[in-house]
Amino acid sequence: MDKISDALQSVRDLADSNKELTYAFAAIGAGVVGLKLAKCLRSVYRYTIRPSHNLAKRYGDNWAVVTGASDGIGKALAFELASKGFKVGLVGRNQDKLEAVAKDIAEQHKVETKVVVFDFNVHYTAEKIAELSELLGVFEKVSILVNNVGMASYNPLEKMTDENIHKQINVNVVGTTVVSKIMIPKLRANENRAAMLIIASIAAESPCPNLAVYSATKSYDYQLGLSLAQELKDKIDVTVVNTASVKSNMNSGRFLFTITP
């Protein structure tokens, strides 16, 4: 206690003896707090007050195609895009679920919908890629592509099955890359600029014990997006979102917090 009091007294003495230095430190402190406050206010403005962009005006009214659209974040984004007036293409593996989503969207938002059934957990041979390309051929011109499909397997690597390692790489890495490649000409065919959104993960940026393969696949998605953003900037706005925790089938327990949406 004495040591702390002595230290505080020394600081006071120093401040008394050198006013200029005190004011300089106070100014630096005020500057740092001001910057933090400005950042905080900017976030509040961006996420609550700022009106959303007029996507239809920027990207035209061709298809918005969402992968993994039968549930979770993909389904929510499909509804959101339909509410902005886009025709919505729903891609996923479960025909019944996809058709139920398509029906609800069409009823609620009065927009055209199309369902494409494809299981992204496959070995991507030339034949498989040709099959996917043909299925996605129903969308001639695309305004927006949302690369959302993804899955996670929670386990230490030494206990993870080979099947689960392959699944995560097939769906999150190869599937996302192949869909992007197939869709680029369709995005380029859009009369307006087009957009590609990649749903990566906060796991792309931080160490994730027991999710090593998942986080590595999401780092891949993140880098894919950053590079495509440069590669395609003449025509396509590419955005990657490193999503934090969202309650869904994939995330239904371990990573749910009080503020998880």
Could you list the residues that contact ligand NAP (CB under 6 A)? 68-74, 92-94, 97, 119-121, 148-151, 171, 199, 201, 243, 245-246, 248-251
Query: Encoding tokens for residue 99?
Result: 């058709």
Write down the least CB distance from residue 191 to ligand NAP, Å.
29
**What amino acid positions are annotated as catalytic residues?**
214, 218
Write down the least CB distance from residue 146 to ligand NAP, Å.
10
Nearest to 195 by CA among 204, 206, 183, 207: 183
* Nearer residue to ligand NAP within complex by CB, 168 or 190: 168
DSSP for 190-201, written as a single string: SSS-EEEEEE--
Write down the least CB distance from residue 97 to ligand NAP, Å.
5
Neighbours of 1 (CB within 10 A): 5
* Nearer residue to ligand NAP within complex by CB, 69 or 105: 69
* Nearer residue to ligand NAP within complex by CB, 122 or 229: 122
Write down the least CB distance from residue 137 to ligand NAP, Å.
18
> What gap in Å lies between CA 52 and CA 179, rounded to an integer?
27
> What gap in Å lies between CA 176 and CA 168, rounded to an integer?
11
Buried b (16+ CB within 10 A) or exposed e, 94-126: eeebbeebbeebeeebebebebbebebbbeeee
* Nearer residue to ligand NAP within complex by CB, 190 or 195: 195
